[in-house]
Structure 1
Amino acid sequence: MPDPSEPLHLPAPPEGANAPLHGLTLLLVEDSRFACDALRLICQRAGARMRRAETLSAARAHLRLYRPDVVVVDLGLPDGRGEGLIRDLCLGAAGRPRPAILGFSGDPAGRGAALAAGADGFVEKPVVGVAGFVAAIRRSLGAPPVQMPLAEAPDPADPLALHDDLARAAEMLRVRPGARVYVAGFVEGVARSAADMPLARVASAARRPGADGQRLAALLATRLAKPVAPLIAPRAGSPPYPAAQSE
């Protein structure tokens, strides 16, 4: 797993004059490898260069040295809430224009929190269409809409990244029971991105006051016991786990 204290520099996409985000640099502040991989594929197809920071501290370190065109901020991060970073970016530094800012969350209620903090827009997980994500980026920049020769559905993200996210969550529940609310929110976002709604529902319940996280830990163990390849739902939308509805 990459060191979360350092931004992860992902490869630049091939150049293309018809790419609607060509020439843009995007910083994704996101703790999920799976969500990051999904957006990486979209950015490559749209012509943007993407960098990733796993934590608020890594994002702040990156932003002290570099100024991306767009910052996409997950609202639930290991070292705090993304709204704080959004507010700081809106204040900006003297003499430096601020980047466009988008909030990012698997919780639809995050839209209001992100916009109240000053974000220019909000993207809900999972990102179900390339065109919709590109349109949100262009709106945040004040750019006109474009007709894009891109397929609507993004490419499947890496199942190994999904497995790593679930393994990380299971380990955190084991060694850091006080982090239950953060871990449950993390798992809910990952599960929604993977079209695993039974896991998303259990994770959502584990975020509630008084929950103990035991059912979530048990379901994570069940998921991690399965082979890696079937972890992502087929494009047709069938559940990734045959017995999911009974769990």
Structure 2
Amino acid sequence: MDELLLTPAPTARRPLLGLTVLVVEDSRFACEALRLLCQRSGARIRRADSLENARRHLAIYRPSIVLIDVGLPDGSGTQLINQLAQATPRIEVIIGISGDSAAETTVLDAGADGFIAKPIANLAAFQSAILKHLPAHRQPPGPRAISDEMISPDLIAYRDDLHHISEILNNTDESQDIAYVTQFLDGVARSAQDDALGKAVQNLATLKSEGDDLASGVSTLNELVAKRIAAGGPL
């Protein structure tokens, strides 16, 4: 009861006021979009970029909501979803996120309350995806204004993601790293609506799945990434 009295009450304009969201996401571009969405909704946000950092964070802080990306550098986000879903006391809302809509079934089977497909940019859709899983005392009073606002993350975060992947592409021959590169860049390309980059990512993923030589696919992808870094954004 004391906690409820101390926590700011949600409002129609800021329906997540008083809540803390932990975003477990390795893409700075995707995380920047979620930061803006949380800010517009009244929620505080914390970020972890790996399973290890998320667990370290959760050992100290208890968020109201956790958004967990499926593809992380040190494993699948479904591991953390399953762990949190079985914990007592349970975090109020656990939601899986991914650029691959086919991941929804896996996420829900792991114990998540819901799933949001990337790119995540529509303010009203983001708020609704969370509010429908919150208890009555967390709901805003009266009718909620539905906003058509679309979030546009800063392209500095986009370039940060590309620099991260460029370093991996230039310093690895490991297929495990290629699997990470393709899942990471697929999400970034979707979020940035960069179709050409997305096609190059899918081509590399296909080469890997068919056991073909990856050199041409890596070279093409590296060239596209370098061009976007130089241009400061999608071409």
TM-score, length of structure 1 as denominator length: 0.81
Instruction: Indicate if the aligned counterparts of 1:67 and 1:99 stay in contact, CA closer than 8 A.
Output: no
Kindly indicate whether the alpha-carbon contact (under 8 Å) linking 1:70 and 1:101 is maintained by their aligned counterparts in 2: yes
Distance 1:69 1:124 in 2: 21
- Distance, in Å, in 2 between the alignment partners of 1:148 and 1:39 is 20
**Structure-2 change in CA distance of 1:30 and 1:160 (3 Å):** same
Do the aligned partners of residues 69 and 186 (structure 1) sit closer, same or farther apart at CA in structure 2, a change above 3 Å counting?
Answer: same
> Which whole-Å CA distance do the structure 2 matches of 1:190 and 1:52 have between them?
17
- Single out whichever of 205-214 and 132-141 deviates more from structure 2: 205-214
SS of match in other structure, 2:116: strand
Q: Supply the AA of the counterpart residue of 2:196.
A: P
* Structure 1 residue 147, shift from structure 2 partner: 4.4
Partner of 2:119 in structure 1? 126
Pick which of 208-217 and 183-192 moved more: 208-217
Q: Give yes or no for the alignment of 1:98 onto 2:91.
A: yes
RMSD: 2.0
Greater C-alpha Rg: 2
**Matched residue, 1:9:** none
Instruction: Give me the whole-angstrom Cα distance separating, in 1, the residues matched to 2:126 and 2:222.
Output: 32
Q: Which one has the bigger helix percentage?
A: 2
> Which of 216, 223, 229 is the equivalent residue of 1:218?
223
Opposite residue 179 of structure 2, the aligned amino acid is: V
Say how many residue pairs are matched: 215
Residue 71 of structure 1 aligns to a residue in which SS?
strand
* Aligned equivalent of 2:204: 206
Contact 1:15 1:47 in 2 (8 A): no
Secondary structure at 1:119's aligned position in 2? coil
Does residue 19 of structure 2 align to residue 21 of structure 1? no
Q: For residue 183 of structure 2, what is the aligned residue in structure 1?
A: 185
CA contact (8 A) 2:16 2:43 kept: yes
Contact 1:26 1:69 in 2 (8 A): yes
| Same amino acid, percent of matched pairs | 44
Q: Which amino acid aligns with 2:118?
A: K
Inter-partner Cα distance in structure 2 for 1:140 and 1:192: 26
1:114 aligned onto 2:107: yes
Verify the 8 A CA contact 1:27 1:72 in the aligned structure 2. Answer: yes
User: Could you tell me how far apart the structure 2 residues matched to 1:100 and 1:30 are?
Assistant: 16
Structure 1, unaligned stretches of length 5 or more?
1-13, 232-239, 242-247
Give the Å deviation of 1:195: 0.9
Q: Which residue of 1 aligns with 2:45?
A: 50
Question: C-alpha separation between the residues in 1 aligned to 2:112 and 2:11?
Answer: 29
Q: For residues 121 and 16 of structure 1, do their structure 2 counterparts lie closer, same or farther at Cα, with a shift above 3 Å needed? A: closer
How far apart, in 2, do the equivalents of 1:183 and 1:109 lie?
A: 19
Q: Contact conserved, 2:17 with 2:41, CA < 8 A, in 1?
A: yes
Residues 197 and 67 of structure 1: is their aligned pair in 2 closer, same or farther, counting only changes over 3 Å? same
Instruction: Name stretches of at least 5 consecutive residues in structure 2 with no aligned partner.
Output: 1-7
Q: Distance in 2 between matches of 1:78 and 1:187?
A: 12
The residue that corresponds to 1:156 in the other structure is: 152
